[in-house]
Chain A
């Protein structure tokens, strides 16, 4: 019975708790046990089982009285980029050694407000810089999925690799994640889970450790589209502590699900059909188009001519912002400190020891592109191209309501397979990064298996603040795809 509890979806568990068929104590206990049994996946940096059981107890008291919020008693995993009051928060970096925030991020505070239970802090690429969760100081996360007839360890995608692996391996009901260039959608695609990055400004960034401020956005990774709608409804909302947060009401996202997509105009951007993309991804995309057409959608060909410039634009803008955002990690007020003969020596030693190679690389690139004489050629140019990319989407949306694309150019790859070539790694985000540059909402839905038996995802991209249409279309896609595959639980001790 206990192991079955982790099979429930978030919505299923919610309904079972409300109906008093189960208790949060049982449910949370099952997850704490699953979490402990799956340490080999390295999904959690910090497990907070005791805290979880306490929170579950409080939730049960509320539920017994017929009270409680939208997520009452539901155990979640939290990406370690979210500051959690009193709980170690590391961003997957050595430089935040021992850092215990005296504050709670707005997004997680919203979840606790609604009654959710915290299981622990999920692993991620260091400062969310990576596409495979291999840059974490706490080591790589192992994807619960394996290729057919192989026990090679695969990456769970990144940077929210702990989140995607934990949801796929049933180590939490759902997880928070963040997405700067694809870090929610790409790991979701690699693990057969659903990941939604809402419109920039929809979720507060307050208390989320910043990577690239103009691109970072929080969202959930979940078992299915309904769970994503429920999670997003709780995470989203205006926050006066974040100047880039947008003051508009949060709709009932769950209510959008199941509504017909008849007449919905689905744009197919021709520039996403890139050379060198595995045929099975292309085929999956075509199947997706057919499914939506069959559900009544109108398929429209659109063009996003500047798509090929998105990745280079991203690799100017994001490093530039990160070089500045990460200047605060200097060994003075928190985290790691390596003593030096003077303050400059202290800074240099601390930051050399505290940041891993990928973070150092991006800080260096960012420092360079902002430095005297290069700003116009790189940063200004990139922000201009960004305007053009956003304009492409605006033009496309004159003809359609959502866009359908593959989420990633391949299925999950092996650990260590791409670490030697940063650029090859960057290509994983080629389909997702445009969405961040334009500030749009995007969702990845599992849509099939590769010939190796690995999950593949399709991405839907919506209009600004039109997550309802996006979720409606995603739900329709999910219904049509009927993705039921699960990873075999090889990892349990």
Chain B
């Protein structure tokens, strides 16, 4: 795309500036994200979109651009584009048109890509990105349009030849074009992360970057703070969030180096090589682009009814920003915790299931720590998705209850959680069977304290002098009770017996 778009004014943050040899530089970033619409069939043909099939087995006569073949649009893909537009809080255009982008390439059988150039289905919108320290930035969306994906060429099957597979040819894509509103690689990464979250919430794109369902063209330019925009380079088809960050860092430094040496930036298309960690000019596409866009005469204008848009809007799922705000107000969560939870709808769903299972009102903060702490840790370690967690939300809720009502100590709770994760047993069952109930009976704890004090008179004397040494006694008591003693009760009794303040 090469559209002229407005950008928001932002005063540069010092930490975003790159310190060059001759002064500070500001990075200006705009992204074009290609997101594959999760549909059964292609945008203009009835071929399957399934990933990984044998070459050219998912190629219809239309996809192979045989003479006389014509495109017919997939309604579901149109609805998914509208849904995505609504999720980006963007303008939905009731009338849009399809244009042909003409160029020759072996993976482009028609000799043109059907895209939307002049009148896209979705206009301006906004994505709020969430950054470290609870900072948020609104990134403008310029437009979203539908287009066809191209096929794939394999270059290493025989020397001197490329092998063309058109299975992807014609798969429906949404190209989501941002305004040049990002100022650091962190922001760009946060943007793609957030966009992917939104797409997954909506179910319009699976966001799978390894299979190419989501890929980004990154437009990078640099300028002195406050000066007009510099010449940009477009880094094509970056297919991981990490690479996006690396590509930007490399490219910005490359441009700054050229400028500081008195050179100028040539507007061009570049490729990121993850192995070398650098961007390279794409010489094969160097030739002057002249795509000769014009309205596709095989397709009529795409006209939507407001009622259809309203129906899609009415069935929109709760979006991440709304969910975040609700989690904060419903469960007293911090912005940070809420952001972590809404990153994946399934995580937030799990958390809410923890909070809602059972009859007891639970402390949202304790619950979020268990979900994002021990549970995430275990899931990561075992390579489980949250949907496949061996610990159910109900069980985790019960564990939280056992801690809150003093049945078990926080320390013991960690062991119980591990056992729950391994065996899938309920926490109460583990507590009862393994005798892990917390001892709050002061008599039993006093007896344990007395026994330890009697066996260590020298330590008693030292602790009376130096109250900080009382901690040693706590550890010994917990050891002798297998960790079941209520630590608060232990502290109180020890303080009384040693004659020191209990709140150290």
Residues in A lying within 8 Å of B, measured CB to CB: 82-83, 89, 91, 96, 99, 101-103, 105, 205-210, 212-214, 240-244, 320-321, 323-324, 326-328, 330, 332-334, 343-344, 347, 367, 370-372, 375, 379
A334 touching B66, Cβ below 8 Å = yes
- Contact B61 A102, beta carbon cutoff 8 Å: yes
A-contacting residues, B50-79, CB 8 Å: 61, 64-73
Q: Does B458 contact A (CB under 8 A)?
A: no
Q: List 26 A-B contacts (CB under 8 A).
A: A82-B68, A83-B67, A83-B68, A103-B66, A205-B70, A206-B69, A209-B68, A212-B297, A214-B297, A243-B73, A243-B298, A243-B299, A244-B299, A244-B300, A323-B102, A324-B100, A324-B102, A324-B111, A324-B294, A330-B111, A332-B164, A333-B64, A333-B109, A370-B294, A375-B293, A379-B294
- CB pair B300–A324 under 8 Å, yes or no, is no
B2-33 contacts to A, CB under 8 A, are none
Closest B residue to A89 using CB positions: B67
Using Cβ atoms and an 8 Å threshold, which residues of chain A touch B104?
327, 330, 344, 347
Assess whether B292 is in contact with A367, with CB atoms less than 8 Å apart: yes
B112 x A324 contact (CB < 8 A): yes
Complex formed: what's the CA distance from A214 to B70 in Å?
12
Q: Is the CB of A328 within 8 A of B73?
A: no
Given contacts A213-B297, A379-B294, contact A370 B102 (CB under 8 A): yes
Task: Decide yes or no whether B110 CB sits under 8 A from chain A.
Answer: yes
Chain A residues positioned under 8 Å from B71 (CB to CB): 243
Q: Which residues of A contact B299 (CB under 8 A)?
A: 243-244
* A66 CB, nearest partner CB in chain B, Å: 36
Asked whether B297 lies within 8 Å of A321 as measured between CB atoms, the reply is: yes
CB atoms of B298 and A328 under 8 A apart: no
Q: Is the CB of B110 within 8 A of A206?
A: no
Kindly state the separation between the CA atoms of A347 and B287 in the bound complex, as whole angstroms.
Answer: 15
A-B residue pairs, 10 tightest by C-beta = A327-B111, A370-B292, A213-B297, A214-B297, A207-B68, A328-B65, A209-B67, A372-B290, A83-B68, A328-B111
Asked whether A210 and B68 contact (CB < 8 A) given A243-B299, A332-B164, the answer is yes
Do A333 and B70 form a contact, CB below 8 Å, given A214-B297, A324-B294?
no
Q: Is the interface of B mostly helix, strand, loop or mixed?
A: loop
When C-beta atoms are compared, the residue in chain B nearest to A210 turns out to be B68
For B110, the chain A residues whose CB sits under 8 A away are: 327-328
Q: Determine the residue in chain B with the shortest Cβ distance to A239.
A: B70
A323 to B102, CA, bound (A): 9
Q: Which residue in chain A gives the minimum CB-CB distance to B62?
A: A241
- CA gap between A326 and B110 in the complex, in Å: 8
Instruction: Identify the closest chain A residue to B103 (Cβ).
Output: A327
Please state if A205 and B68 are interface contacts (CB–CB under 8 Å).
Answer: yes
A371 interface neighbour in B106, B290, B297, Cβ under 8 Å: B290
Complex: chain B residue closest to A82, CB-CB: B68
Which residues of B (239-297) have their CB < 8 Å from a CB of A? 290, 292-294, 297
- Closest CB of chain A to B104's CB: distance in Å? 6
A375 touches B294 (CB 8 A): yes
Which residue of chain B lies nearest to A101 when distances are taken between CB atoms in the complex?
B66
Q: Which of B67, B73, B106, B112 contacts A101 (CB 8 A)?
A: B67
Which residues of chain A are near B294, meaning CB under 8 Å? 320, 324, 370, 375, 379
Bound Cα distance from A328 to B106, whole angstroms: 10
CB distance from A339 to the nearest CB of B (A): 11
Partner of A99, one of B61, B67, B72, B102: B67
Q: Which residues does chain A contribute within 8 Å of B102, judged by CB atoms?
A: 323-324, 327, 370
Given the complex of chains A and B, what is the CA–CA distance between A371 and B289 in angstroms? 10
Name the residue on B nearest A370 (C-beta).
B292
Q: Which residues from A are CB-within-8-Å of B290? A: 371-372
- Bound CA span A320–B297, Å: 11
Complex-state Cα separation, A243 to B102, whole angstroms:
21
Could you say which residues of chain B place their CB within 8 Å of the CB of A99?
67
Residues of A within 8 A of B111 (CB): 324, 326-328, 330
Q: Output the nearest chain B residue to A99 by Cβ-Cβ distance.
A: B67
Give Cα A101–Cα B68 distance, bound, in whole angstroms: 10
Expressed in whole angstroms, the Cα–Cα distance for A112 and B409 within the complex equals 84
Q: Which single residue of chain A is at the shortest CB-CB distance from B107? A: A332
Which B residues from 340 to 372 make CB contacts under 8 A with A? none
Chain A residues within 8 Å of B72, by CB: 240-243
List of A residues within 8 angstroms of B61 by Cβ: 102-103
Give the residue among B104, B110, B292, B300 with the most A Cβ atoms within 10 A: B292
**Candidate in B70, B112, B299 with the most chain A CB atoms within 10 angstroms:** B70
Q: Known pairs A243-B70, A324-B100. 13 more at Cβ < 8 A?
A: A102-B66, A206-B70, A213-B298, A243-B73, A244-B70, A244-B298, A327-B102, A328-B109, A330-B104, A333-B64, A333-B66, A343-B106, A375-B293
Q: From A105, A240, A326, A375, give the contact of B68 (CB < 8 A).
A: A105
Nearest chain B CB to A202 CB, angstrom units = 15
B96-122 interface (Cβ within 8 A of A): 100, 102, 104, 106, 109-112
Residues of A within 8 A of B162 (CB): 343
Q: Please, which residue of chain B has its CB at the minimum distance from the CB of A346?
A: B106
* Nearest residue, chain A, Cβ from B291: A372
* B301 CB to nearest chain A CB (Å): 11
Q: A83: shortest Cβ distance to chain B, in Å? A: 5
In the complex, the answer to whether B67 meets A210 with C-beta atoms within 8 Å is yes
The minimal Cβ–Cβ distance linking B106 to chain A, given in whole angstroms, is 6
Closest approach, in angstroms, between the C-beta of A99 and any C-beta of chain B? 7
Q: How far apart are the CA atoms of A423 and B249 in the complex, in Å?
A: 58
B46 CB to closest chain A CB (Å) equals 10
A95 to chain B, nearest CB (A): 10
A residues near B298, Cβ cutoff 8 Å: 210, 213, 243-244
Q: With the chains together, A4 CA to B104 CA distance in Å?
A: 54
Cα separation A242 to B64 with both chains bound (whole Å): 17
Which residues from B are CB-within-8-Å of A82?
Answer: 68
How far apart are A251's CB and chain B's nearest CB, in angstroms?
23
